[in-house]
């Protein structure tokens, strides 16, 4: 797996054939306006082609501005946004999508995600996603923070398997059962908070960083990709954005991959999807 992913432009093929880059920039908690514009510009200049935002981040306008200013052909970019929790439901989803699309100032979105499963509306929401996909406004539809039981409910109540499930995933929460389920079902797992909000001062990681001559963040991001997981580290610093992309010139050994796998503590930095109800 690791050896075949050797460049920032390398991609995975989703279950509908759409190509999604293995590495992207996340913009959670990045302020709209100059901050997010500079972050996205720095990423695009460094060779990133995937940007991940959300209605809930309130920075879609700035992301759209940076995309337009970049001059990069639209078809070379992979733009993800997500439906805000408050907008779940069929009609409200259709309206919310149009709002996001206009803020981003794009004709279509590459990937649209249900941000959280919530309590009881995600099946109805998914029907709106299917409509938007069928009409060509979205190239791939997926979910975020869905556990196996949420995915099973969708499977039993719709015709479309999500292309992506974006979840909290890192060495302290490696979600092996969910990862295997998604692989079996043809759902691409994507990691948010891959570098654990900067909590990388862990002996196993720092030792590997020293061994490979890389930073702790680079070790963790490479571990993600070698597991076949799309990853979207967030940063507002140009140097860090470039550093996070410098993970395609080395490969972790199988032994070192297992060493990181064994660090799992089922520890979440973010909310548990079963408790984040609305």
Among residues 57, 90, 137, 181, which one is catalytic? 57
- Between CA 266 and CA 259 the distance in angstroms is 16
- Between CA 127 and CA 94 the distance in angstroms is 10
Q: At what angle are helices 122-134 and 90-104 packed, to 10 degrees?
A: 50
Is 57 catalytic? The answer is yes
- Between CA 103 and CA 74 the distance in angstroms is 16
**Which CB contacts under 8 angstroms, 24+ apart, belong to 200-206?**
202/171, 202/263, 204/171, 204/259, 204/260, 204/263, 205/171, 205/260
Q: Which residues are catalytic?
A: 57
């Amino acid at each position: 797996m690791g050896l075949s992913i050797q460049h920032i432009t390398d991609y995975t093929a989703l279950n509908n054939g759409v190509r999604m880059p293995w590495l992207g920039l996340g913009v959670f908690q990045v302020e709209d306006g100059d901050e997010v514009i500079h972050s996205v510009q720095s990423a695009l200049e460094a060779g990133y082609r995937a940007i991940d935002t959300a209605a809930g981040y309130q920075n879609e306008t700035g992301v759209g501005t940076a995309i337009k200013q970049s001059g990069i052909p639209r078809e070379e970019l992979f733009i993800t946004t997500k439906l805000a929790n408050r907008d779940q439901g069929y009609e409200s989803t259709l309206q919310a999508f149009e709002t996001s699309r206009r803020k981003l100032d794009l004709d279509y979105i590459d990937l649209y995600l249900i941000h959280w499963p919530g309590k009881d509306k995600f099946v109805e929401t998914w029907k709106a996603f299917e409509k938007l996909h069928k009409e060509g406004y979205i190239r791939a539809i997926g979910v975020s923070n869905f556990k196996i039981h949420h995915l099973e409910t969708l499977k039993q109540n719709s015709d479309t398997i999500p292309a992506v499930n974006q979840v909290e995933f890192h060495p302290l929460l490696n979600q092996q059962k969910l990862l295997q389920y998604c692989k079996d079902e043809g759902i691409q797992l994507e990691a948010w908070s891959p570098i654990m909000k900067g909590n990388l001062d862990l002996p196993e990681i720092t030792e590997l960083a020293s061994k490979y001559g890389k930073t702790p963040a680079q070790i963790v991001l490479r571990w993600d990709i070698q597991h076949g997981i799309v990853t979207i580290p967030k940063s507002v610093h140009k140097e860090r954005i470039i550093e996070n992309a410098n993970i395609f010139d080395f490969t972790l050994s199988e032994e070192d991959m297992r060493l990181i796998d064994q660090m799992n503590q089922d520890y979440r930095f973010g909310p548990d999807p079963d408790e984040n109800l609305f």
